[in-house]
């Protein structure tokens, strides 16, 4: 977004608490091919392409999802962030590192932003600090209704080409874990869960080591982070707009936020451009930002969240039963051949899966479904 605004001639200051631009250490860096194409992602920051994945049920039953063409890419997240920062700087944006925001004051004619070293004044402020409930609440945007914790580690591994996803209450209660190959002999291992993600990740690392999936399990550095599962109650206000993870522009199904955050940033840049043209930086004048991003991804986020809440309630027994049914009927193979399914938009995939299961699937899972309703 800094690039979009600076390229239109606006004076842009980016305040970053880190000493330099760098990636989220708890981010897998997976984006869909659609995202890579829409935003012309620099090929030099792409580690590998992905066309298949293996998903394991608690019982160990596997479902492989594959297509002939790549569906996603794995980014070098640090290189990606630095590339975006460099591009913005080249168009005139000023970056101030070691500048953690301590306070924001919305005034009649300006926004005053106090950092650890100095105070900045601007016509409008864009808030994009990632997962930061304190700052969002301070601005009067409400409290996040739901979020999850994640943990991830970089490990050495045997050569592998596919993403692996693991389900089960003993692995990541209510959520999932992943093993994502990056560079040759390297991979990212992580998981999401409500509580103690580090404890579960250490158990997963030990299990993967015992199975020969990774070369080492001890002494790896764990990185933690929070991920919102629902959008903030409000993402705009007087002279302020909230973007990305801070706005809850994140896929509830997977926790991925790169694509939706970049879409949100584009909507924010366009809204701010119109505000400068009209001279109206009021909440009403900036409300079009939320309408725009909600129109693009609001229904997707709502559908994904309902699916997320349902999945979180499933027992391992029910997940195993669904896997057996889907595998026996070859449903995933059929879905993989549907041209309109997208890595970046999961709502259609979820609905297509339900349609594919049909009445036979409803009858087949009736017993565990009744058990679910009793819990």
Tally of structural domains, the chain: 1
Q: Are 345 and 352 in contact (CB under 8 A)?
A: no
Backbone angles phi, psi at 261, to 5 degrees: -65, -40
Per the domain annotation, does 325 fall within a domain? yes
**What does the pLDDT look like over 33-47, one tens digit per residue?**
999 999 999 999 999
Q: Does residue 352 lie within any of the structural domains? A: yes
Q: Which helix (H) or strand (E) holds 9?
A: none
Residue 328 within any structural domain of the chain = yes
The answer to whether residue 117 sits within a structural domain is no
Inside any domain, residue 182: no
DSSP string, 42-63: -GGGEEEEE-EEEEE-TTS-EE
In a domain, 195, yes or no: no
DSSP code for 174: T
Provide the domain limits for residue 366. 314-374
- CB-based burial label for 131 (10 Å; 0-12, 13-18, 19+): buried
Q: What is the token pair recorded at 150? A: 């994640």
User: Please, what sign has the CA dihedral across residues 228, 232, 236, 237?
Assistant: negative
Q: Mean pLDDT of successive 10-residue segments in the chain (375 residues)?
A: 95 93 81 94 95 94 89 93 95 94 92 92 94 80 85 90 94 96 92 95 95 82 92 94 94 93 97 97 97 96 89 91 85 71 72 58 43 43
10 Å CB burial of residue 117 (0-12, 13-18, 19+) is exposed
- For residue 355, the model assigns a pLDDT of 63
Residue 18 lies in a domain: no
Residue 83 is predicted with a pLDDT of 95
Contact 279, 164 (CB under 8 A): no
**Is position 366 within any domain?**
yes
């Amino acid at each position: 977004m800094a690039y979009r605004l600076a390229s239109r001639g606006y004076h842009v200051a980016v305040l970053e608490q880190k000493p330099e631009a760098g990636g989220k250490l708890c981010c897998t860096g997976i984006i869909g091919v659609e995202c890579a194409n829409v935003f012309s992602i620099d090929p030099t920051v792409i580690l590998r392409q992905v066309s298949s994945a293996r998903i394991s049920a608690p019982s160990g039953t596997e479902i492989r999802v594959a297509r002939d063409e790549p569906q996603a890419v794995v980014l070098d997240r640090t290189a990606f962030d630095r590339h975006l920062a460099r591009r913005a700087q080249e168009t005139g944006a000023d970056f101030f590192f070691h500048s953690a925001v301590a306070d924001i004051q919305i005034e009649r004619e300006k926004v005053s932003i106090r950092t650890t070293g100095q105070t900045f004044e601007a016509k409008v402020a864009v808030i994009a600090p990632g997962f930061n409930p304190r700052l969002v609440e301070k601005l009067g945007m409400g409290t996040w209704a739901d979020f999850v914790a994640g943990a991830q580690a970089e490990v050495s591994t045997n050569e592998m080409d596919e993403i692996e996803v693991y389900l089960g209450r003993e692995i990541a209660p209510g959520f999932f874990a992943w093993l994502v190959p990056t560079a040759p002999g390297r991979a990212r291992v992580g998981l999401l869960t409500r509580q103690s993600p580090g404890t579960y990740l250490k158990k997963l690392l030990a299990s993967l080591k015992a199975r020969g999936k990774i070369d080492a399990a001890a002494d790896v550095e764990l990185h933690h982070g929070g991920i919102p599962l629902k959008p903030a109650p409000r993402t705009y206000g007087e002279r302020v707009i909230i973007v990305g993870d801070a706005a809850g522009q994140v896929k509830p199904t997977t926790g991925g936020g790169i694509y939706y955050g970049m879409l949100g940033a584009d909507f924010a840049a366009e809204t701010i451009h119109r505000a400068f043209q009209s001279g109206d930086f009021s909440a009403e004048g900036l409300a079009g930002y939320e309408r725009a991003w909600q129109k693009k991804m609001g229904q997707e986020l709502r559908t994904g969240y309902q699916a997320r809440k349902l999945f979180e309630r499933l027992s391992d027994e029910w997940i195993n039963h669904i896997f057996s049914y889907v595998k026996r009927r070859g449903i995933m193979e059929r879905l993989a051949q549907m041209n309109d399914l997208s890595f970046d938009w999961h709502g259609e995939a979820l609905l297509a899966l339900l349609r594919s299961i049909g009445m036979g699937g409803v009858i087949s899972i009736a017993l565990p479904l009744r058990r679910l309703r009793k819990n």
